[in-house]
Amino acid sequence: MNQAQRRDFFETLKNHNPAPTTELNYSSPFELLIAVILSAQATDVGVNKATDKLYPVANTPETILALGVDGLKQYIKTIGLFNSKAENVIKTCKMLIEQHNSQVPEDREALEALPGVGRKTANVILNTVFKHPVIAVDTHIFRLSNRTGLAKGKTVKAVEDKLMKVVPKEYLLDAHHWLILHGRYVCLARKPKCETCCVTQYCDFYRDQQRRQSSSVS
């Protein structure tokens, strides 16, 4: 995929979804932070089911901290790795209260210092809450970027670095959401839905498939 095709790729995604956003339910930066921590190796649907019960009861660092680890587990026990996640969330709440006046910091280093927060989670918060032009690369975006030729790389960080270089600036702010949604619902891992994909004309994988089919026919 060349740079002109990358621009058309994102313009097409924009036309199909002008205002993409996260599928996690939240009403404050803190709620999103906790939801993203809980979403590691879990689905957004599963996280939303848990937080829909949790947040009416506790949705601030103080109120979740007051639940304690065991109290929090009762709300998130349907989510994978809930034991370690409960520990991390309680520790994060304590740090936010003690070090950040109960506010989610707009700083990568401060975010990544919070238990349960790595580079990907920090990027989600910086992008979705604070509107920083960064891209959180998850398994969907990693797969899609390599498969389509948008940004090839052997590691998550390599793909992130390549995306930051090749995504046209005017699309950077929403690129994360366009890519994750397209990877989640169209460019699937086992059987991509090329027949309903709106960007096949720019996709290396699709073109290779078409060439192979043409060769086998001839």
**H/E/C letters for each residue in 160-218?**
HHHHHHHCCHHHHHHHHHHHHHHHHHCCCCCCCCHHHCCCHHHCHHHHHHHHHHHHHHC
Q: Is 187 annotated as a binding residue?
A: yes
- Catalytic site residue from 49, 91, 94, 120: 120
SS3 52: helix
Closest CA to 178 of 147, 135, 211, 218: 135
Q: Is 194 annotated as a binding residue?
A: yes
Mean pLDDT by 10 residues, the chain (218 residues): 95 96 96 96 94 97 98 96 96 98 96 96 97 96 97 96 97 96 96 95 92 72
Q: Is 120 a catalytic site residue?
A: yes
pTM of the model: 0.91
Ordered domains of the chain (ranges, CATH): 3-20+135-213 (1.10.1670.10), 29-129 (1.10.340.30)
User: Radius of gyration of the chain from Cα atoms?
Assistant: 19
Q: Is 198 annotated as a binding residue?
A: no
